[in-house]
A = this chain, B = another copy of it.
């Protein structure tokens, strides 16, 4: 255990800072004028072993963790894909600074029945933080089915305080992060890997 004195304390702090958080925070800051800089592509695997890939919206990090938050509709196909293979890879390209983060890790679906009070609280506060426009989409007809008539897309607005049952918080807990800067000369690329003891290592690799 680290002590609170001098060097030992300092070492402990260094080891627990996640090294890819700072370059990712910088990319988000430098690309903040583009609303789409908070969109990324999430790859999952279908039951037949084929990949699936779609754009989702970054909803920040789960408090005091490195887990990326996004929200999904339990009626969408990715729900079954994630139950079958709870692993995902995010590809996040920032157009202004020309850099890419690939984040691979375990996916957790926090749906209405998830038996964990703190995460259920996180699901509720994520729902509350959504815009009205984002929230009402969970009242729309079943995604992917033959298009319903237009009235079905003007439902009464759902309660902003209480998530609908098909509202699901999705967490990605990265185990490997690959950061590529196309602007370097040559390009710069770093690989961040988390060990079983939760310690992150960083290596510079060839682009």
Contact = CB atoms under 8 A, between A and B. Distances in A.
Contacts of A54: 91, 100, 102
B55 A93 contact: yes
B45 A206 contact: no
Interface stretch (A3-11, A13-21, A108-116, A140-148): A140-148
**Which bracket fits the contact residues of A?**
35 or more
Contact of A49 (B45, B53, B145, B206): B45
A186 B151 CA distance: 10
A161 to B, nearest CB: 24
A183 interface: no
Interface stretch (A22-30, A82-90, A122-130, A193-201): A82-90
Contacts of A95: 34, 36, 95
A140 B206 contact: yes
A152 B42 CA distance: 34
A146 B203 contact: yes
Contacts of A41: 41, 43, 53, 91, 93
Given A93-B41, A95-B36, A186 B153 contact: yes
Interface of A: 34, 36, 39, 41-45, 49-55, 85, 87-91, 93, 95, 100, 102, 104, 137, 140-148, 150, 153, 186, 189, 191, 203-207
